Structure 1
Amino acid sequence: MAGAGAPGWLAWLAGTSVSITMRTAAWAYPVVEIVHIAGFSVLVGSVVLFDLRVLGWARALPVAELGRHLLRWALASTLLVIPAGLLLFSAHPVELANNPAFLLKLGLIAAAGVNALLFHLLPYRTVAAWDRERPAPPAARLGAALSILLWLGVITCGRLLAYL
């Protein structure tokens, strides 16, 4: 939501039992944060390992096979990251909605998603031609390098949340 409705919606969220529990229960926030970080570690780790292969590391590994293997881990970890992230947001929605690091983090996640979509729609369609031993085409390497930079930016913004 945007405009005048957003602050009211955020204030409503801050008053829900889930939000109150996240702020007041001794272990709620730390446990959810651990789940979020663990899931995010698997997600970003899977993505970066795939991106490094596209950039030319471990050329003996088939790109498509590695992608199939790592995609399962990335998708499974997303099932942890998203709900945990929503719970963490619910604890301090008004503050986070006004935090520049949080807003940049969301923008970088969206950009990483668009980058992944474009990668799969464009250079990855020709993966059979560069699956083994051959270098990935420049567009694929650019997408992989951008992916790593975007996810490092997301991690950086996540750490900066506490300081801004």
Structure 2
Amino acid sequence: MQSQGALGWIEQSALAEAMRTGLWTYPIVEIVHIVGFVLLVGSVAMFDLRLLGLGKALSVQALGRHLLRWTLLSLVLVVPAGLLMFSAHPSDFLGNPVFLLKLVLILLAGLNALLFHARVYRGAAEWDVGAEPPAAAKSHALVSLFTWIAVISCGRLLAYT
């Protein structure tokens, strides 16, 4: 486990050692990570399903404001827990194509969300309640749903690769 540079420093840190050797440390952190992902993907999926036409009586803008809080809260759980798990075996994770794919997919999901909010969502007042969201909104929602399902799949496959 003698790696060079930053990865070596991470792998040899007391935190990484605690993650590797504590009987319950890694499993508890992993549970926190999963709970965070449930909140993240659950809130995103509810919004995406609204964009796909489910619950047209609900205001897109009000739903977005409500769910955004949950999405942001989820990041408080997901990101630190993910970094803690990464610290236990950084070289193994970075050498795993499934982990690298997961990172690329997370980046894609974030980029998709940024583009949606920067472009399509600016006109949400026109299709807020009762109206059919535009095709661009539906496209972003489909990309979001499929990307997050792929992220979850990669996370699960990490246990087997």
- Do the two structures share a fold, i.e. TM-score over 0.5? yes
Task: Count residues in correspondence.
Answer: 159
Q: Are residue 146 (structure 1) and residue 149 (structure 2) matched?
A: no
Match of 1:71 among 68, 72, 93: 68
Aligned mates of 1:44, 1:115 — CA distance in 2 = 14
Runs of 4+ in 1 over 6 A off after TM superposition: none
User: One-letter code of the match for 2:126?
Assistant: A
Corresponding position of 1:3: none
User: One-letter code of the match for 1:156?
Assistant: S
Corresponding position of 2:7: 10
Q: CA deviation at 1:8?
A: 2.8
User: One-letter code of the match for 1:130?
Assistant: W
Aligned mates of 1:39, 1:52 — CA distance in 2 = 20
Alpha-carbon RMSD across the aligned residues, in angstroms, is 1.0
User: One-letter code of the match for 2:41?
Assistant: V
Q: Are residue 48 (structure 1) and residue 60 (structure 2) matched?
A: no
Q: CA deviation at 1:163?
A: 1.1
- Give CA-to-partner distance per residue, 1:111-160, whole Å, 9 cap, x none: 00000000001110000000011111111100000000000010000001
Q: Extract unaligned runs of 5+ from structure 2.
A: none
Aligned mates of 2:50, 2:101 — CA distance in 1 = 28
Q: CA deviation at 1:7?
A: 5.0
Q: Percent identity?
A: 57
Q: Extract unaligned runs of 5+ from structure 1.
A: 1-5
Aligned mates of 2:125, 2:144 — CA distance in 1 = 21
Q: 1:19 to 1:54 in 2, by over 3 A?
A: same
Say if 1:56 and 1:136, in contact at 8 Å, map to a contact too.
Answer: yes
